Structure 1
């Protein structure tokens, strides 16, 4: 990779944000033209907010999830009322107790955990997966070896116990978002070899784990039956209404149903039937295009050299080439993978729409239809919801694996309930003491028909952003992870940041995006009105993030600001067994000057809004893929791009081995330490 291609963001990023991350992860989106140039209405329509959010949350149990246990279990499903009562009884009583750690300066290259806990890598970039996989050699990397090793920049992570193993064996799924060839490979490695290795280090991994007992840490199992690497030239099957559309056909795939590879995978979700969903996010950065059509501009495709230069190696990454005009349309989907079947073909679901998916997360509605929520992770883009046509059948996995292939797709429009004059751009609370209101889900596709004038169903699904523009959806501050609570049915949206609302020609502030310069992000809490499939909802801002010591306009659901951990740039979300929200961050060094971390947020009772920091990741890294197994006193995180700003010759981090070698993205397990291993930042051997 040519280092000069990484330079555009240098001098444009604020504070401690990495220019390298900006170039490699999202192709300098913040520096380029805003993709959404529509003049939609915003949250100033307060006439429709007659029902207050406080009234709804005080008494409604209508949108309670059917699954009252942690994650998705095979146990009997409790009634909604019982699930709500259980959630209220269990609030704040998680068995995972800890004293919050202090924030860690962004220059510190340490992985820090609370006193009484320790940490251990589960699997690292380059670790061999199969019996015949070679040992990782950073000086002699080959594409053949990389196909058999754990990929780079692990992001979304999920772990499921293998039935019948008594908690000793599990299968882990992980996706690999992007690569940084400048710190991965020797400087003198030929560029063609770097490109090939970069391609292979993208994709997905399934790997088995094993431990001695529930109190012991996991190790990955080399050569296990379920281990699998899915890379850039592996096939995916398109499903749903747009599969086979002319908009998806290429010279290499005239059927429009078979795609090779997945790109820019970010967050994801676990389905009730045990498959994994992964969101294709910043796919635009891999393609060179004409960049002149409205469709290309709306998705950020341009006629410029890409940062990795794959278009110089593989013609499909240059959509100017005859026969490959539609190749970029084949990315930007939700991918579904069966981790229990190594021979299965992953699928890309067109029914959920095409945009820069952070991920997708599923809950079962009261009528047993599947509801999937997803955010479009770009400034001024939208929040989406999918409702399946068919209903979930307990125990019928074959049937359930088709639930995401057909259904209704919606986009969100919010209304605030405060006068527009009280939303002044600083983040100061309006006179009623909360940022809140109501909203509605506007149908893009309903009962198999397009609800957008002038667009067919396949056009709506392939160019979902343009369809949502026409309906006047609400422009948000980068919707990242969107997670429904399986305890209460409430939905949480991580809006990571957006500093452009006050710029000329950009969207102004509104009640759900109240900061003109939103460096630290916020978290939206949604309560569906009536049922999980409803087209009406109430909302409020749970958190307006930042460091309360330096920013008086932070907000923590009314909890005293002086008693919370500072938090910035919320990204991925998770829940523990009693329903507390856990937030991993990406961008805190830029926002508040500290390393990114993982935080617990209490959602109910007198401590609602309390934020406690559990861990922090090393220099230049972000925290991804949190899994909280509080009954086992265990937390997992994926540590992505440690030492991003370094070079091969001068690493910026030595995580996780700290033996003066190159940094390696790693999935880490944090657990209760034996007495000899206790202490801040201690790592087990």
Structure 2
């Protein structure tokens, strides 16, 4: 990194891994080139079983009951999710029974957009505008964004970079006119953020200040008008790399988590690599620490270092030059990396609260966590480990949810993720292994499906992994899971239960290593080798969400049907869908449709990433319709669907990623014509933003 600017990162090339629009810059800065390195999971566990038993029918495998009645608490307001599922069998929520097409958000699907187009494309009859952008001032004393005069002190008081998971929660009593927005700031790209001439140390400090989380208040005139953020509002807050997080749960205080700076093993500075997340029924936000390994230099020789992708090479950002904790070879900081890779819980309605990291939910590369209340009242969280050949997890709370709105109810609910049982998934297919040749073609019975079980890691406060204590299982969860034989998956990213049906949707983004020499080949739940386009698994729990067995099927095997005849959409005619690849984050609308944002898609043909609606039931089950496309080099993140107000929100991450400050590839969202002088308020760099898409006649 040159001392003159500190901006030129050592970006490792990724030949063969970035076909289509996926940027090698994104791979280097976001996940430390995970797909160009060795696979972290080299275990030889029995990760999948295919069976050809004629006695196991699809109907038997999938005819399990689902969750009971549910309610979601947003802020201090309880909003019903419908009657969810009748006791004793699967069904639809009241809202969904009227038809998944009954949403007020009707649109004509857009055509795929070339990845080189620097434009946010929305359907006819809709318009868009930013809600908040990188650098926007949050507090009364925050300076206005000035790309030429950035500083760490200014950035700490401004909206951070590369917003990912997003949610918008109403403020009680505001009559639909005020809300809070939460977002993660996953990583930074200083090469396009800063002009030449910045001091190297200050460049690194600006990057650190642009990480973390943000809570900011929003306002609007009425529910038909767009939102704008409120500078200086009482709930506005930035969570930085020096913000203190409380570690709770069984591993808190463990010797595996203590450092010179924190001999208690309970007070952790900052959160890193925050990707997706979830919103709890009691109105808090969950954020997943994902690619934390890229921030640390380490010995790289231990089993745990190797399993979590920690190496001795200098990091891209070189924060280890400024803070000894980012080099775990330094005496007293050997455990610092163990303090990342957790689920974080934030209370957006209490600006004085201390955010928490939940050790009971395990440590791995969390994409996020999404919760549902089981019929028993226990809270169940589903979590994916976003790495090639890693696993799907489930957490079941020890305590039960209290649906009231009193202070005692809230106090109880804030403890639910601090203690409970942790499981990892094993899938079994119901077709013969020989049917899966890696092409992704359907087996003879006409569906990818089967059964599964949740393998216990920690239950009732006791380790279920031979030779490992509870603390070891929770700190080294990947190593613990390897021992019990779960299924190796194709990068489980977002995992969300539907509050309408209780079914769980597991988004497998891709796995370009499947089927390579020495690596697992195609199976029924991961049916393609060299899987560039990804797929989505639909799980139906046996009984309620606390069950230890489930049925499953593949909702989608993604791709462009015009180029990939094996692309599958739950039986819907492939010629009638929008091509989709690399599914990443998902959300549901008010009548139960699934909305999917993509990252790197379609990688095989180079379309822009976008947001897609998928119908989940009825004659149109599997129908994919593209709603929007993001600008050049960008990824679609954090979808929020307010279809009752005909409004959609997305976080547009890393627009113009492959450019440099002197040669920008995007000026989103403040577009400047080539060669033109920016107008006041327009930046000479792209600004990751949360945007809203609404009817043009609103």
Give the structure-2-normalised TM-score. 0.94
Q: Which residue of 1 aligns with 2:25?
A: 20
* SS of the residue 1:285 aligns to: helix
**Deviation (angstroms), 1:85:** 4.8
Q: Does 1:516 align with 2:520?
A: no
1:14 Cα deviation from its structure 2 partner: 2.3
For residues 695 and 110 of structure 2, the distance between their equivalents in structure 1, rounded to whole angstroms, comes to 15
How far off is 1:301 after superposition?
0.2
Query: Contact between 2:82 and 2:500, CA under 8 Å: does it hold in 1?
Result: no
2:127 pairs with 113, 118, 131, which one? 118
Distance 1:114 1:432, change over 3 A: same
Q: Which residue of 2 aligns with 1:247?
A: 256
Alpha-carbon distance in structure 2 between the residues aligned to 1:544 and 1:520: 8
User: C-alpha deviations, 1:612-670, integer Å up to 9, x for none?
Assistant: 00000000000000000000000000000000000001100010010252100000000
2:196: which partner in 1?
187
Checking the alignment, whether the CA contact within 8 Å between 2:75 and 2:170 is kept in structure 1 is no
- Structure 2 equivalent of residue 232 of structure 1: 241
Q: What corresponds to 2:313 in structure 1? A: 304
For residues 120 and 347 of structure 1, the distance between their equivalents in structure 2, rounded to whole angstroms, comes to 33
Determine the C-alpha separation between the residues in 2 that align with 1:650 and 1:221: 33
Task: Say if 2:81 and 2:499, in contact at 8 Å, map to a contact too.
Answer: no
Q: Where does residue 62 of structure 1 map in the other structure?
A: 66
State the 1:54 CA deviation.
3.6
Cα deviation per residue 1:497-547 (whole Å; 9 max; x = unaligned)?
001112111111110001011100000000001111000000000000000
The Cα shift of 1:191 comes to 1.1
Q: How does 1:588-603 map to 2 (within 5 A)?
A: 588=601, 590-603=603-616
What 5-or-longer segments of structure 1 have no aligned partner?
676-685
Whether 2:509 is the aligned partner of 1:496: answer yes
Q: Deviations over 1:251-296 (max 9, x none)?
A: 0000000000000000000000000000000000000000000010
Q: 1:78, CA displacement in angstroms?
A: 5.8
2:593 is the alignment partner of 1:585: no
SS of 1:84 mapped into structure 2? coil
Deviations 1:22-81 (A, max 9, x none): 100000001111100011223334279965454455x54433452389999614686554
**Does 2:552 correspond to 1:539?**
yes
Contact 1:61 1:80 in 2 (8 A): no
CA distance in 2, matches of 1:342, 1:402: 18
In structure 2, what is the Cα distance between the partners aligned to 1:81 and 1:383?
A: 24
1:297-336 correspondence to structure 2 within 5 Å = 297-336=306-345
Q: Against the structure 1 CA distance between its residues 266 and 526, is the aligned structure 2 distance closer, same or farther, given a 3 Å change threshold?
A: same
Conserved in 1, the CA contact under 8 Å of 2:20 and 2:605? no
For 2:10 and 2:642, how far apart are their aligned partners in 1? 41
Instruction: Report SS of the residue matched to 2:204.
Output: helix
The aligned counterpart of 1:3 is 8
Structure 2 counterparts to residues 145-160 of structure 1, below 5 A: 145-160=154-169
Give the Cα–Cα distance (whole angstroms) in 2 for the partners of residues 230 and 565 of structure 1.
38
- Spell out, residue by residue over 1:298-344, the C-alpha distance to the aligned partner (whole angstroms, 9 max, x if none): 00000101011111111000000000000000000000000000010
Contact 2:387 2:490 in 1 (8 A): yes
Distance change >3 Å, CA 362–CA 623, structure 1 → 2: same
- Displacement of 1:421: 0.5
Could you say which residue in structure 1 is the equivalent of 2:664?
Answer: 651
RMSD: 1.8
* Distance verdict in 2 for CA 1:388–1:186, change over 3 Å: same
Residue 669 (structure 2) pairs with residue 669 (structure 1): no
Whole-Å separation in 2 of the counterparts to 1:522 and 1:169: 37
**Do structure 1's residue 468 and structure 2's residue 481 form an aligned pair?**
yes
The SS at the match of 2:301 is coil
* 1:105 is aligned to 2:114: yes
Per-residue CA deviations over 1:198-247 (Å, capped at 9, x if unaligned) read 00100000000000110000000000000000100010000100000000
**1:426 matched to 2:477:** no
Which of 377, 385, 398 is the equivalent residue of 2:394? 385
**What is the alpha-carbon distance in structure 2 between the residues aligned to residue 285 and residue 369 of structure 1?**
35
Establish whether residue 458 from structure 1 lines up as the match of residue 471 from structure 2: yes
Q: Distance in 1 between matches of 2:555 and 2:596?
A: 12
Structure 1, 75-84 or 568-577: larger mean CA deviation: 75-84
Unaligned runs of 5+ in 2: 1-5, 674-683
Q: What SS does structure 1 have at the residue aligned with 2:168?
A: strand
Partner of 2:583: 570
Structure-1 separation of matches of 2:130 and 2:367: 25
Stretch moving more, 77-86 or 402-411: 77-86
1:555-591 CA-to-partner distances (Å, cap 9, x unmatched) read: 0000000000000000000000000000000011533
Contact 2:20 2:607 in 1 (8 A): no
Counterpart Cα distance in 2 of 1:662 and 1:155: 19
The aligned counterpart of 1:84 is: 92
User: Displacement, 1:187?
Assistant: 2.1
Partner of 1:74: 78
**Residue pairs, 1:392-411, within 5 angstroms:** 392-395=401-404, 396-411=409-424
Q: Aligned match of 1:505 in 497, 502, 518? A: 518
Cα pair 1:158 1:625 within 8 Å, conserved: yes
SS at match of 2:102: coil
Report what 1:277 is aligned to. 286
Check if 1:338 corresponds to 2:347.
Answer: yes
Find the aligned partners of 2:207 and 2:526 in 1 and give their Cα distance: 37
In the alignment, the residues of structure 1 paired with residue 93 and residue 181 of structure 2 have an alpha-carbon distance, to the nearest angstrom, of 32
Q: 1: distance between equivalents of 2:118 and 2:338? A: 40
Q: Would the aligned equivalents of 1:563 and 1:610 in 2 still touch at CA under 8 Å?
A: yes
d(CA) in 1 for partners of 2:53 and 2:396? Answer: 24
1:99 match: secondary structure: coil
Structure 2 residue 451 is the aligned partner of structure 1 residue 438: yes
CA distance in 1, matches of 2:186, 2:600: 16
The question of whether the paired residues in 2 share the 8 Å contact of 1:645 and 1:652 is answered with yes
Alpha-carbon distance in 2 for matches of 1:637, 1:125: 14
After the TM superposition, list the runs of 4 or more consecutive aligned residues in structure 1 that deviate by more than 6 angstroms. Answer: 68-72
Give the whole-Å Cα distance in 2 for the aligned partners of 1:73 and 1:623.
29
SS in 1 for 2:278: strand
